[in-house]
Each structure stands twice: as structure tokens, then as C-alpha cells.
Amino acid sequence: MNTAVTRSDWVGRVIDGKFPLVEWLGDTGQAGVFRTELEGPPSRRAVIRLVAADSEDAEARLRDWKQVATLSHPHLMRIFDSGRANIGGVDLLYAVTEYAEESLSQVIPERPLSTVEAREMLDPVLDALAYLQSRGMVHGHIKPENIMVVGDRLKLPVETVRREGSPGALQRELQIHDAPEVASGTILPASDVWSLGMTLVEALTQHPPVWDRSTRSDPAVPAEIAEPFAAIARACLRYDAAKRATPAHIKTLLNPTPTEAPANEVDRAAPPAAAAEEPRTTSSRTRLAAIAVAAIVILAVIVYALTRSHSSQPAPPAAQSSAPVAAPAPAPPPSEQNPQRSTGTLKGEVAERVMPAVTDAANRTIQGKVDVAVRVNVSASGAVENARLDSGGHSRYFTEKALDAARKWRFKPAQQDGNAVPSVWTLRFQFRRSGPEVHAAQVSP
């Protein structure tokens, strides 16, 4: 498919009379990509992909887009509209989809994913692939650029999704993430699994696995990849498509069903010799159960005795004395107790804000913005005692930068009845290419 006809200087043009080309986002190799706006209110950012309509499969592609627009899955991006357009005499196909703030391809050059992030990436992608396969469809283009963050979710773009065996699915150059069978003109559900395995290795090591397409061997999975991710990669990267794992199988590797715990927990913790001397028999389990019940009963008796002792404790000697005791003087009205102390609650204020230390190279990886909300607990002295992620966090790099900065903030304490009190704040960081911004709001008191 020839995408050279799409040009960045088309910014300002309007597609189909309703989708303005607001910003040039680049060329994916299959389509020219622009940011556009959906009519409101309120207006929403979206992405429009333009493809030259000069191929034999143009009508099939439009039919696929119309069908894909009916799919509904939380980890598949939506197609809002599609159709034909013409700019300067160039016939085009277009598809309007959700706008992504970030993709995996922007993170990998900065650092590899942690094992926690790899798990968070795999789960939604596997769910999306299982959903497509259950409908006889293939994605055909799993790679880091196509694992995207939309709002607070990871999603796959859908403009490449086709029905399995669709004739126009191979109108592109081979890429490093493509399965062996793609070279012969076939894209299978197992091809998506291969591409996911290549993407997983690249995400964990910053490099795809070394593999010679001219051989019939499996790629070598780097030894430094931890389990279960090494096993998952090997299960995905089988040269024989019939031997590759399914999304359901990968799920079991990622989240194995816990085995049933031994009935005798004491034996499991004991040294092997002790365990051998007293096998796990029904009588030993019975004795342990009896001991546990007895311990519970004894504990209940102790608690009851302490409670009774506390409730029946004799009054202090002064209270038991027969001598008359003067009644306490009535307390002064609240307004007279401490005339210098103000009443009510006064909000705190930000005393010192610290911006995240983000490199220019990291800023340049951002498309749109990356939102990270951090909740901080502030002591009565105005220092941050604890900072934790409140929302966002799909980019570990920007999340860590936000948390590190938030811990260094200082506040003028909130007050209640004239006393400084602890407070809770939310710091909303927005990372853009131009640099980070932050908005602070007190949550309590």
C-alpha cells in the first residue's frame, strides 16, 4: 500500500467535510496519521488514518473497517467512522479511531519493562486477542507501536483487524515481528501469538530476539528473562504455527492455578527429617485441629476475663470516700475556653512544589499527554509522609518521576480550631512534549 501520497502539509484540510486535520502525527508504513477532532459538545481528540485508495483490496478494507466498528471490547480501540475522501485529486480511504496518549514503543527505548509491567501489558492484550479469535478474526500487526494507552487502559488499534483469510491482509512489507508464515502469504490467529512473543522479548530486553528468517528454527529466548515470561516467549515463538500456545494457554502460564495447600501446614514447614518421622495421617490432622480449637477457647476465656475485670474495676479511692466531694466547676462556654484560638477548618497551602526531572528525550516520546495522579499524606508539620499512585501509571518511567517529585513537596499545614492537622492532597501531573505541569488539590480535611 502506497502511503507516500499522504503529506504533513495537509494539516488544515478537512476530510469528508467533518474531520479537520489538526496535527501531523507521522507515517506508520501503512497509513498517514493525523490528529483530528470529533464534534461535541464537548469536542474530543481522535486520530484519523489516511490510506491511498489505489489498491484492489480497497473495498474489502472498507468492509473490514465497517465490521470492526461493531466490535466491543475494553482493550480494543473504537472506530468512530470510516469512508472515502479526496485531497488534491488523491483518492483516500480513512478511518477515525480513538486517540492514544502513549505507546509501548515510546517506553522501550528509555528502559525495559519490569516484570510487573510486563504482566500488566500481557493480560489485556491476551484478552483482546482471545476476543478477536473467538470471532474468526486476526489482528495482523501486534508490535510495540500498537500497544497503546487510551485513558487508563491498554488497547490495540483495530484498523488492521481482518477476518482470517481476508485477501487484503498482506499488503505490506514484512517486519521483524511478523511470523514465518506471513512471508508465504498467510496470517493466522497463531501469527498474532508469534508477534506477541517477539514484542514480549523486546519489551523485557529492549531488543527483539535474534532470529534468522531463512532458517526453520525457533528464535532464542534470552537467558536473562525471568519466569514465567521466558516460558511464555518460548511457547509463542514456535516456528511451527500449530505448536504455538493459544491466548488461553498463555493465560495459564501467566496466572497459574494455585495448587491445593497441604492439609498439615506444620508438616510443610518442618524439616524433611521431621516430616518423614510423622507422616500426614488423619490422626495427626485430628490432633492439630483439637489443639487449634482448644487454643481458641482458651483465648476467648482470657479475653472474657479481662473484659469482666475492666468493667468491674472498683472506683478510685477518692470516689469511694464518704467525705463530701465538691462538684466540678461548670466548664466555661466554648467561646470563653480559649478566646485566642480560632475555630473551624482552614485549608492548607502549597509551600514548595518540585517538578519532575524528565529528560528532553523522554518528553519527545510523548504523543498528546501522559496523566499521573499522586495522592500524598501530609503531616501536621507540612512534610509529605507518604506518596502513592492514585490513577494513571501505565508508563512506569513517568509514574516514578511523578512520585519522586511529589515526595519532595512541602505544605503550609491545614488547621482545625487553630491547631495544625494532617491533610491529604492529590497532585495531578500532566507530562507533555513541552514539559510537565501539575495541579494540586486538598482532599481532606
Q: Which residues sit opposite 389 in a β-bridge?
A: 374
CB-facing half-sphere around the CA of 209: CA atoms within 13 A: 29
d(CA 201, CA 225): 8
What pTM, to 2 d.p., does this model score?
0.59
pLDDT digits (tens, 9 = 90+) for 183-227: 888 889 999 999 999 999 999 999 999 888 888 899 999 999 999
Give the model's pLDDT for residue 375.
93
Spatial contact of 35 and 47, defined as CB atoms under 8 Å apart: yes
CATH architecture of 345-444: 2-Layer Sandwich (3.30)
Average pLDDT rounded to a whole number, residues 53-63? 81
Amino acid type, 97 = T
Q: How far apart are the first and last CA of the chain?
A: 59
- Mean pLDDT for all residues in the chain: 80
Q: Is the pLDDT of residue 78 over 80?
A: yes
pLDDT digits (tens, 9 = 90+) for 43-54: 789 999 998 888
Q: What's the pLDDT band for 279 if we cut at 50, 70, 90?
A: very low
Lowest mean pLDDT among 146-150, 375-379, 392-396: 392-396
Q: Is the pLDDT of residue 428 over 60?
A: yes
CATH number of 1-99: 3.30.200.20
Question: 100-256: which CATH topology?
Answer: Transferase(Phosphotransferase); domain 1 (1.10.510)
SS3 138: strand
Q: Is the pLDDT of residue 336 over 60?
A: no
pLDDT digits (tens, 9 = 90+) for 92-116: 999 999 999 889 998 999 899 999 9
Lowest mean pLDDT among 252-266, 274-288, 332-346: 274-288
Domains of the chain, residue spans: 1-99, 100-256, 345-444
Q: Starting at the edge strand that comes first in sequence, how are the strands of the sheet with 32-38 ordered?
A: 23-27, 32-38, 44-52, 90-98, 79-87
